[in-house]
Amino acid sequence: MLDYTRVENLSAADVQRLRAVYEPLTTSVRDLVDATIRTEVDADAVAAATAEIDSATARLRVKQRDRSFGIQFGADGDSMPWGNAVIGVRNPTAPPLVIRRMPDGSVTSDFYLGAAFEGPPGHVHGGVSAMILDHVLGDAASTPGKHRLTGTITVRYRRLTPLGRVRAEARVTRSEGFKTYAIGHLADDEGVTVEAEGVFIEPRWARD
């Protein structure tokens, strides 16, 4: 059984306030990640930057949760999947994706993949494409209060995806009992680059 923590006494306004405190920090760390990969400054400058980074880390670790962020909920039911590797607004390694649900039930997201997501030179790592499609198809297959996890996913690479602006789209094709089938793709301005199809399953412990 997974631990979805309800945070007591945290109103919707509190959730927004926390987001306003921590989201700019996360954005700054994302910018630092990019600079860390691309920098060509000399050893002395690197040492000076590293000292500042270690100082910032020490400040943040003065008070911290024991484990990973988890998925927390406010008293009004606001979901805070803020540590999530793909959509987490407090996770500097997440692009992060903002996923919109369309009137027809499909989902879509426009996002930017920079130097941190590279595989072949100048292009998105195939594994990053698979990671994002896993999340977006899973989101399409889930409904409010009923989160479905990936059973099996197949990813087909039609061509390389250049680093830069990318769009993801996904939709459910059919459902059978505990199984929901979804398809989707990544695309750049020229069209589809990677396709995926998967089956998503309601966890046993959530079927009561």
Which residues, numbered 96-135, are part of the site for a copy of itself (CB under 8 A)?
114-123, 125-128, 130-135
Contacts of 125 (CB under 8 A, 6+ apart): 117, 118, 119
For residue 173, state whether it binds a copy of itself (rule: CB under 8 A): no
For residue 65, state whether it binds a copy of itself (rule: CB under 8 A): yes
Amino acid (one-letter) located at 180: T
The residue among 63 and 104 lying less far from a copy of itself, judged by its C-beta, is: 63
The residue among 67 and 100 lying less far from a copy of itself, judged by its C-beta, is: 67
Residue 77-96 contact track with a copy of itself, rule CB under 8 A, x = bound = -----xxxxx-x-xxxx---
Omega before 96 cis (within 30°)? yes
- Give the CB-side neighbour count of residue 6, counting CA atoms within 13 A: 5
Range in contact with a copy of itself (rule: CB under 8 A) among 6-14, 25-33, 100-108, 183-191: 25-33
For residue 187, state whether it binds a copy of itself (rule: CB under 8 A): no
For residue 163, state whether it binds a copy of itself (rule: CB under 8 A): yes
Identify the residue among 13, 35, 98, 102 touching a copy of itself (CB under 8 A).
35
The conformation of residue 115, written as its DSSP 8-state character, comes to G
Taking the alpha carbons of 8, 9, 10, 12 in that order, is the dihedral positive or negative? positive
Range in contact with a copy of itself (rule: CB under 8 A) among 7-15, 43-51, 171-179, 185-193: 43-51
Identify the residue among 13, 22, 76, 143 touching a copy of itself (CB under 8 A).
22
Contacts of 195 (CB under 8 A, 6+ apart): 155, 156, 158, 183, 184, 185
Residues in the chain: 208
Contacts of 100 (CB under 8 A, 6+ apart): 107, 108, 109
The residue among 84 and 109 lying less far from a copy of itself, judged by its C-beta, is: 84
